[in-house]
Amino acid sequence: MVLNKKNFDAVVVVEGKDDTIRLKQFFPGIETVETNGSAISDSVLTQLKQLSKTRQIIVFTDPDFNGERIRRIVTNAVPNAKQAFITRKEGEPHKKGSLGVEHASKEALEKALSDLHEVAPKNSNLTKEEYRKLGLAGGTGSRKLREQVGIKLRVGYGNSKQFYNRLHTFGVSLDELNQAVEEAKNGK
């Protein structure tokens, strides 16, 4: 897949200039809006709201606490924003530095930008009881299983409550979740 200005008309929300530099290295025509960290200004949110009237917005933040915080703030301001995720492993620095989009490979970036998630208008049929029965909450190994399932579904990681809410937000069905849990447990 080749992303460039001609066939990639979205605006990608990133945390900082290093993320923009990395994306432009592989996708020269890509346009970004930088939040400049987790203290997103009102002017950036206003800019994104305006842009969302004519352009698709993609939130592509780091797979860490601050990245998730920024994702929530932007998504609250622009509810129709699509979501792109890399895994923590894909965002690990090769030498030193912090976890982030700026360290991801071209392949990881392409995959994230081609496998977008959106807030689903449909409701998930997943209940909290089924979520717990699958081992995603309240047990030994729940954290690791959520991490693996998040990778399988490409929806990122969250604590038990956040992850459950994220599955509902993206309309993940019980069948989809069952399959991802089974694959994660079987090491597929």
Q: What is the pLDDT of residues 7-41, one digit of tens each?
A: 467 999 999 999 999 999 999 889 999 998 778 99
CA–CA distance, 140 with 32 (Å, rounded to integer):
40
Which class in CATH covers the domain with range 11-114? alpha beta
- Per the DSSP assignment, residues forming a β-bridge with 57 are 11
pLDDT for res 3: 47
Tokens of 111: 């995959």
CA–CA distance, 48 with 31 (Å, rounded to integer):
12
pLDDT for res 38: 79
Whether 181 shows a pLDDT value over 70: the answer reads: yes
Q: Could you tell me if 58 and 81 are in contact, meaning their C-beta atoms sit under 8 angstroms apart? A: yes
Q: What is the pLDDT of residues 77-121, one digit of tens each?
A: 999 999 999 988 998 888 777 889 999 999 999 999 998 988 765
CA–CA distance, 130 with 165 (Å, rounded to integer):
14
Whole-structure pTM value = 0.79
Q: Could you tell me if 30 and 1 are in contact, meaning their C-beta atoms sit under 8 angstroms apart? A: no
Q: What is the pLDDT of residues 126-172, one digit of tens each?
A: 899 999 999 999 889 999 999 999 988 988 888 899 899 889 888 88
Q: Could you tell me if 183 and 134 are in contact, meaning their C-beta atoms sit under 8 angstroms apart? A: no
Q: Where are the domains of the chain?
A: 11-114, 128-185
pLDDT for res 135: 94
Q: What is the pLDDT of residues 59-71, one digit of tens each?
A: 999 988 899 899 9
For range 45-69, the mean pLDDT: 93
Burial profile 39-50: b = 16 or more Cβ within 10 angstroms, e = fewer = ebeeebbeebee
Helical segments of 11-154, H only: 17-26, 42-51, 65-77, 106-114, 128-133, 142-153
Q: Would you give the DSSP letter of residue 117?
A: B
- At residue 5 the predicted structure's pLDDT band, cuts being 50, 70 and 90, is very low
